Amino acid sequence: MRFLFLGDVVGRAGRSVVTDMLPKLIARYALDFVVVNGENAAAGFGITEKIVEDLLDAGADAVTLGNHAFDQKDTLVFIERQERLIRPINFPKGTPGRGAALLRAKNGADVLVINAMGRVFMADLDCPFRAIDNELTACRLKQGADAIFIDFHAEATSEKQALGQFVDGRASAVAGTHTHTPTADERVLPRGTAYMTDAGMCGDYNSVLGMEADEPLTRFLTKIPRGRFEPASGPATVSGVAVEIDDATGLASRVKAVRIGANLANSEPDFWVS
């Protein structure tokens, strides 16, 4: 299976680069399954139903969220009918939506997508490790699902790395989101799970985490908010991670960071590109 995950889509620049490039990437790499994190897609804060549908129409098979999941209040309503929109599984019981979904890939495989949120320097939600462990126990790799992907939306690199070790051999791939900064540590862990601490963002990297720099700089210099954070609108980059998953085992055989666009050194999965 050829799998692609794209990190946090930030604002209009991120949406535009993803909806423009994703169909081309699907064709170029002959992708079987694509997941996109969309939690910053609506002006940097949350997601709208129209944006969800635009990402799905562009070729995403699932859209994951994070700490901004419900910043757009309508999400509380439409998340129930958008079966491929997945919020963190460790939100409290009774939160609308779903934290995991079993979806069909283009090659006919069943893919379990799990979204979870970290707790270090973040909201004090239920334990993500126990929530993920319960899901992996209920739907085991190559028993309940042909492949399993986890988007771990977390701040601390230690928490993300710990989760990678925790699920190694039980999931096909784990990729972190939230920091909007791609890491250089993509690898296959000892028991066969592909791992990357943070997939980065899809947006304008000539910014502060995808936002125009003026307001963040003002707050750092004066500790006084002067206005709203506004997504940067310059040339954008698609960032994420590509994983080749062995159909027989459901584990990863190869992994490579994906960065295509402006401001960052480009990276493509050369094992798929002739």
pLDDT at 127: 98
**Mean pLDDT score, 9-29:** 98
pLDDT band with cut points at 50, 70 and 90 for residue 19: very high
Distance CA 246, CA 23 (A): 24
Distance CA 163, CA 176 (A): 10
Over the chain, what is the mean pLDDT? Answer: 97
- Residue 45 has a pLDDT of 97
pLDDT digits (tens, 9 = 90+) for 220-242: 999 999 999 999 999 999 999 99
| Residue 180 bears catalytic tag | no
- Show the DSSP H helices in 139-245 as ranges: 157-167, 214-222
Alpha-carbon span 114 to 222, nearest angstrom: 40
pLDDT at 13 over 80: yes
Q: 239: Cβ–Cβ under 8 A, 6 or more apart, which residues?
A: 6, 7, 182, 199, 200, 201, 202, 257, 258, 259, 264
Residue 256 dihedral angles phi and psi, to the nearest 5°: -155, 135
| pLDDT 10s digits, 93-126 | 999 999 999 999 999 999 999 999 999 999 999 9
**pLDDT score recorded for residue 274:** 67
Question: What's residue 29's pLDDT?
Answer: 97
All domains of the chain in start order, with CATH: 2-261 (3.60.21.10)
Q: pTM higher than 0.85, yes or no? A: yes
pLDDT at 273: 79
Residue 194 has pLDDT above 70, yes or no: yes
Q: Which residues lie below 8 Å from residue 228, measured CB to CB, with a gap of 6+? A: 215
Q: Which two tokens stand for residue 10?
A: 């930030």
Report the percent of the chain where pLDDT is more than 70. 100
Give me the mean pLDDT over the 174-201 stretch: 98
Active-site option among 68, 153, 178, 180:
68
* Per-residue confidence (pLDDT) for residue 37, from 0 to 100: 98
Give the pLDDT confidence of 138-164 residue by residue, as tens digits: 999 999 999 999 999 999 999 999 999
Give the pLDDT confidence of 44-64 residue by residue, as tens digits.
999 999 999 999 999 999 999
Q: Supply the DSSP symbol for 53.
A: H
